[in-house]
Amino acid sequence: MSGMRRVIFVVAIMGTALVTASLGRWQLRRLAQRRAANATMRAAALETPLHLPTLQPLAIDSGRRLEVRGQFDTLAQLLLRGREQDDAPGIQVATAFRLDSSSEVLWVLRGFVRSPDAATPPDTIPQPASGIVTLTGVAVATPTLVDSGRPLSRSGVVTYQRLDRDVLARRAPGALPVYLLLAADSAHLGGLDVVAPPELSDGPHLSYAIQWFGITLAVLVFGVIFFARDNGESTRPDEAP
């Protein structure tokens, strides 16, 4: 192999190894973030339920049990596509909930409805209870996403892949930075099949990290073997004609 080809090969091997190792480290960072979030939710779940509205503004941790009083605003509703529950495709429905005697709004993930393609809502979605009601559930932090939750418009209906804090605030001014995952004992008030709380596991991040580091090692080993063979061939004496 010529000198220039060697340089190109080294750059390609080292560049690939750096990229795959970086992806492995990224997965480890995501694992650490997920474990920290899980620890926060476990700690919050042990606290006494928080009753809303309150006279003083409070920071609400993700995982905190809530008991809230107010009424649903069915004019402010958002659909989440690409969901599955009990082995059936469908969508999840989030509806604004205006806290009693307050200007604050708490978005409520009311539950799940079936959809053949997990994107098109049924002709009618059951309505929540009307008037002033009391709901129970778990608070979940609403992230701020760079893609605004990936809105998709189809046949005049807009669905989202995930909830986005800015989108919810625009749809219902005064929205809190968390949403309520409705508990089973409030399912009849939400009018839908409730959604199970998120699983507090490590997820796939550790296995992904191991895979990326394994690829990094394989690339480096390949480079060493290739150079060893190339050096052996270049130093082999020419055979006599």
Instruction: Output the tens digit of pLDDT for each of the chain's 241 residues.
Output: 566 777 788 888 889 999 999 999 999 998 998 888 888 778 777 788 889 988 666 778 888 899 999 999 999 999 999 999 988 999 999 999 999 988 899 999 999 999 999 998 888 899 999 999 999 999 998 999 999 999 999 888 899 999 999 999 999 999 999 999 999 989 999 999 998 877 777 888 999 999 999 999 998 998 888 777 766 666 555 554 5
Q: What is the pLDDT of residue 83?
A: 94
Q: Which residues contact 111 (CB under 8 A, 6 or more apart)?
A: 92, 93, 182, 187, 190, 191, 192, 193, 194, 195
DSSP per-residue string spanning 113-132: EE-TTSSSPPS-------SS
d(Cα 12, Cα 14) in Å, to the nearest integer?
A: 6
Residue with tokens 């290739």: 226
Distances (CA, A) of 23 to 35, 76, 147, 221: 18, 39, 21, 18
How many CB atoms within 10 Å of residue 224? 11
Q: Which residues contact 214 (CB under 8 A, 6 or more apart)?
A: none
Q: Give the residue among 110, 113, 111, 132 at the shortest CA–CA distance from 121.
A: 113
Q: What is the pLDDT of residue 225?
A: 85
Q: What is the pLDDT of residue 110?
A: 94
Q: Are 107 and 179 in contact (CB under 8 A)?
A: yes
Q: What is the pLDDT of residue 59?
A: 78
Q: Are 216 and 228 in contact (CB under 8 A)?
A: no
Q: What is the pLDDT of residue 203?
A: 83
Q: Which residues contact 150 (CB under 8 A, 6 or more apart)?
A: 160, 161, 162
Q: What is the pLDDT of residue 233?
A: 60
Q: What is the pLDDT of residue 35?
A: 87
